[in-house]
Structure 1
Amino acid sequence: MSFSRNDRILRVGRGKGFPMDPGADVEAAFASVIADALRKDFGDAPAHVKHIARLTGANARTVQNWLQARNGPSGAGLVVLMRHSDEVTAAVLKLSDRERLREGAVAAMMVADLRKAVLAVLPYLPEE
């Protein structure tokens, strides 16, 4: 189907560009950071590719593209990966400059583990 001569012709304007925050260039680093995190947690063997594909519901070829940093996961895939991978969660928090949230969560988990350990040992302590 061809367009008629009366169709609108769109041209790119030649104006000033929108000033971008230099620290906001996350898109360029996103795929490589997520790929590194996935490789740390899962590796890049074919069995791991299939495992990640099953977790996220993505195609195996898509997961290979993630691991090779050609593309990054979409929002839904990223959320699933963050559920199953501490490395991916840490990478996303680092990209968003929210590392303090991760530190607080790790500290809370350590306190909870310590509380469980103390409660498990309490029955065996002699009473004074």
Structure 2
Amino acid sequence: MSFSNKDRKIHAKDGNNFPVDPSADTEATFAVIIADALRRDFGSTPAHVKHIARLTGANMRTVGNWLSAKNGPNGSSLVVLMRHSDEVTMAVLKLSEREDLQRAVSERKILKELRCVLIAALKYLPLD
């Protein structure tokens, strides 16, 4: 049996380990960190898998592989996920070792929440 060019690369089954080189370790770390971020933000129920699949245009099986950290999302899917998930954005910034941007995003999020609380509190202050 021969595989076509469209077939996916074959993965090793559980229990079969290949020697780890630095690039493989980075890819595994990427998949685990993104999977954790996705589960924190979206959960891993079938409804959430469908939601992520609709957002990214990816197959549900592909999204399941992302959530189980077998694979990580490709570039375009990652950008879409970052657009919809603060957790994924923070995970990417952490992986890229951009603590300055991480702090800026965190501060912006806190200021946005504070602004909403202050606006809501203004309704109850007297106009004197």
What is aligned with 1:17? none
How many equivalent residue pairs? 107
Question: In structure 2, what is the equivalent of residue 30 of structure 1?
Answer: 30
**Structure possessing the higher radius of gyration over alpha carbons:** 1
Quote the Cα distance in structure 2 between the aligned partners of 1:68 and 1:75: 18
RMSD between aligned residues: 2.7
Q: Structure 1 residues 126 and 82 mapped into 2: Cα distance closer, same or farther (>3 Å)? A: same
Deviation at 1:109, TM superposition (A): 3.2
Amino acid in structure 1 at the alignment position of 2:34: I
- If the length of structure 2 is used for normalisation, what is the TM-score? 0.70
CA-to-aligned-CA distance 1:81-113 (integer Å, 9 cap, x gap) = 111111111111110001221211221332344
In the TM superposition, residue 44 of structure 1 has moved relative to its aligned partner by 1.1
Gaps of 5+ in 2: 1-20
Q: Which moved more, 1:91-100 or 1:111-120?
A: 111-120
The share of aligned pairs that are identical, in percent, is: 61
Q: CA deviation at 1:124?
A: 2.9
Q: Please give the TM-score of this superposition, normalised by the length of structure 1.
A: 0.70
Q: Kindly provide the CA deviation profile for residues 47-66 of structure 1, in whole angstroms up to 9, marking residues without a partner as x.
A: 11101000100000110110
Moved >3 Å (runs of 4+): 112-120
2:14 corresponding residue in structure 1: none
Q: Which residue of 1 aligns with 2:125?
A: 124
